[in-house]
Amino acid sequence: MNKKIKRIAVISSFPPRKCGIATFTCDLISSIEAQADGEIEIFGIAMRSDDETEFNDPVKFEIRRNVRSDYFNAAEYINCSHVDLVVLEHEFGLFGGNGGKLINVLLRKLSAPIVTTLHTVIEESGSAMGRVLAELCELSWKIVVMNMRGVGMLEDIYGVSSKKIELIPHGIPEMEYVESESFKFRLGLENRKTILTFGLLGRSKGIEVMLKALSKIAQQYPEVLYLVVGATHPEVLKWEGEAYRFGLYRLARELGIAGNVSFQNRFCSDSELEDFLYAADVYVTPYPNAQQLTSGTLARAMGAGKAIVSTPYWAAQELLAKGRGRIIEFDNSDQIAASILELFSNETLYNNMRRRAYQYGLLMTWPKVGAAYLKLFAMRRPEVVAVPASAQEGMLISELPAVSIAHMRRLTDDTGILQHTKYTIPQREFGYCTDDNARAMVVMCKFHSLFGGLEALDLLNRYISFCQGAQDNDGLVHNFMSYDRKWCDVVSHDALGRMLWGLGTIIASPPEEKYVSVVKEIFDKSVKHVAAQSPRGKAYSIIGMAQYLAQFAGASEIKRTMNQACSELFTMYEEHSCEKWDWFENAITYDNAIVPCAMLTAGKSLGEERFARAGIKMCDFLVSHTWNGNNFSFVGNNGWLPKNGKKASFDQQPLEAAASVLMLKAAYDVSSQACYLSLSRKAFDWFLGANDLGIAVYDFKTNGCCDALEQNGVNINQGAESTLSFLMALLATTESNSVRTEVAGMDIARPIYISTTSQVEVGSEK
């Protein structure tokens, strides 16, 4: 017997994003819920188009289009939400990667069957989009298309079995068959012949062809009015603004028909759109290209019983067959004019076309479409078989070591992760510290978001428990605990900052939703102490608060606290920096890259340009003292680098390499300068032997990391801080390699100084 469907996740665009897919998705969810009579719970996974969009129910999770880790995190979120089915509304432009391939990264990790609705099917199966579509079909349990041409294309071009394909039409609201005159009066259009086109405006609409036809129609019907209803498409606005719309204005004036055209430049509500449809005598879609498989606007016009004139794009060919509309050639204004003039003058033809369109539209109403989807969902579903990543995807990270938590597990007992080792053997006499358990939270949260697994959750729970126990009632944090579980100190500022970082990481990417309320409570109790922390404690706190805001963007108190902490670091930078010393202290000492990393992170999160610029300058300054043209040579803790002094070459710490990887990745996120990604990889390669001694600091046999690069070799002890630093850098590099656009042959043999007067774009999404 089939398991009854109780919970569904829908991946799509959602309002307030203004696009046809968002509208379709909301209508589909409503129709399914109505047909299911409350027995199915549906929630949304929304594709973000910008930083400003704020989603409401049913959206529970958001994916930034070009952020690969978001797709991993979304998959884990869905898997942890115990859904019975995943529904994907697929349109290539919604998803990131070449050809929109990042959506397949998500689908490969899902544990529930996938039903994919294809809003576009392309003919070029060998193109990037074609390859993505082929894999998408392989990953899906069922594929829904909206017309017979789509069925044929999937079978003939992509070799998809007919048993896998379902034909369900584009849904439309239930509308009445009415005469237009009363609605014309409502809109102030009485005594006018009306022609309508609606939908988001762009060059793919062919409005200029219709305007040329209108100039001919107006010669016989001077009272004619062409209504062009819809805002300019948001993506068109990004690239060319209102150039197309203004060009149409000019064309109307040149043709002498400015008084016969009304541009309604807005995204209409359903009730407004209904009024425009009812008031229209003729609906026209003069689209210039054949490759459009679906059209919600055309389907809706049929549902209103409109007389329709259209070019022969794929959707129109099928919908308007058998006298349900008039098909004319592409880019032929004479044919459009002739067809509309015939409809205006031939009442019998006009009424017959309207009735045929309306009757066909009755088959596509949302109640019928919702019932069809429910019937599909009720079919027997196979066990989900994981599809391995393609070779192309694997190549992106094949040169990196496999991510292993074997040594991390070796260091962890029921209390938490132990600090020190002799070689790989834990030294219990040194006990535990909050610093390391906080780092371990970051590592294990990111590990779980990429790879999942119950063991990862088990370890994460131990590290959270340790940090929770380290917190006093007033929110201050202990750092050192003896092996017999007794605290050895009062408080530690750096530990508090690192703990906020770890907690914020979990809040931003929780392995399960229930984690958020638990770790948020710990976070909220300690965040009030940020102002009293050391500079590095503040830096870690800032990164943690940025992660917090990634989940709770409206948390104004966190924003204020973060801004204050950044302002204090910025003041330190201004006080200590000079012409040859772009730094926040009078020495480069330990954990150096974390402060510029925090400033860069804050600049992007808060949209504060001054923080980002200071972060870039400190980053460049630190790189100039640690990158020698061949490899990174970090400031050693055996003397450090005083202002106007000599840099200590040893003992170089893994902590410095990890922080540099994070800093350089943050610099790329803010500036979009590919050299930062390249340098970030070079910083990681320090672990693998690209260092002053040419010796690997990471131990491939034990999966641990040596504690330091010393003058005569490595310190063979593989403690928690070193191993966690390596894993942190590896996970960040794995993520970066999956989305980077590194410039081939880039010259990075010199210290990098990038002008911050024009390069830094704060608050943008990369």
pLDDT digits (tens, 9 = 90+) for 652-678: 999 999 999 999 999 999 999 999 999
- Residue whose structure tokens are 């300054």: 621
The Cα 109–Cα 388 span in angstroms is 9
Smallest Cα–Cα separation from 680: which of 693, 670, 668, 672?
A: 668
Phi, psi of 439 (to 5 degrees): -60, -40
- The rounded percent of the chain whose pLDDT value lies above 90 is 71
3-state SS assignment for residue 618: helix
Q: At 18, is the pLDDT very low, low, confident or very high (cuts 50, 70, 90)? A: confident
pLDDT of residue 697: 95
| Angle ∠(408,410,414) on CA atoms, nearest 5 | 95
614: left (phi over 0), alpha (psi -120 to 50) or beta: alpha
Q: At 542, is the pLDDT very low, low, confident or very high (cuts 50, 70, 90)? A: very high
Enter the pTM of the model.
0.52
- The rounded percent of the chain whose pLDDT value lies above 70 is 92
pLDDT of residue 497: 96
Number of other residues whose CB lies within 10 A of the CB of residue 724: 28
H or E element in which residue 195 lies: strand 194-198
- Residue whose structure tokens are 């799509």: 12
Average pLDDT in the chain: 88
pLDDT higher than threshold 80 for residue 30:
yes
H or E element in which residue 421 lies: strand 421-422
Distance from CA of residue 404 to its chain's centroid? 27
The Cα 164–Cα 158 span in angstroms is 12
Which domains, from first to last, does the chain contain?
7-168 (3.40.50.2000), 181-360 (3.40.50.2000), 399-739 (1.50.10.10)
pLDDT of residue 3: 60
pLDDT of residue 480: 94
Residues in Cβ contact with 256 at an 8 Å cutoff, skipping those fewer than 6 apart: 215
Number of other residues whose CB lies within 10 A of the CB of residue 290: 15
What's the order of all strands across the beta sheet hosting 261-264?
261-264, 225-229, 194-198, 282-285, 307-310, 326-327
Q: For the chain, what's the residue count?
A: 766
pLDDT higher than threshold 80 for residue 755:
no
The Cα 541–Cα 503 span in angstroms is 10
The Cα 443–Cα 532 span in angstroms is 26
pLDDT of residue 493: 66
Does residue 357 contact residue 302 with C-beta atoms inside 8 Å?
Answer: yes
Tens of pLDDT, residues 92-120: 989 988 888 899 999 999 999 999 999 99
Number of other residues whose CB lies within 10 A of the CB of residue 488: 12
pLDDT higher than threshold 90 for residue 293:
no
pLDDT higher than threshold 90 for residue 475:
yes
The Cα 18–Cα 599 span in angstroms is 34
The Cα 393–Cα 642 span in angstroms is 45
3-state SS assignment for residue 243: helix
Residues in Cβ contact with 560 at an 8 Å cutoff, skipping those fewer than 6 apart: none
pLDDT of residue 200: 85
Q: At 454, is the pLDDT very low, low, confident or very high (cuts 50, 70, 90)? A: confident
Tens of pLDDT, residues 715-732: 999 999 999 999 999 999
CA dihedral sign, ordered 277, 279, 283, 286: negative
pLDDT higher than threshold 70 for residue 495:
yes
The Cα 187–Cα 184 span in angstroms is 5
Return the exposure string of 301-314: e unless at least 16 CB atoms fall within 10 Å of the residue's CB, then b: bbbbbbbbbbbebb
Number of other residues whose CB lies within 10 A of the CB of residue 98: 12
Tens of pLDDT, residues 621-655: 999 999 999 999 999 998 999 999 999 999 999 99
Pair of tokens at residue 464: 């959270």
pLDDT of residue 93: 87
Helices 720-739 & 654-671, crossing angle to 10 degrees? 30
Smallest Cα–Cα separation from 685: which of 447, 405, 401, 436?
A: 401
pLDDT higher than threshold 70 for residue 413:
yes
- Residue whose structure tokens are 């390499």: 657
pLDDT of residue 588: 96
Return the exposure string of 678-707: e unless at least 16 CB atoms fall within 10 Å of the residue's CB, then b: bbbbbbbbbbbebbbbeebbbbeebbbbbb
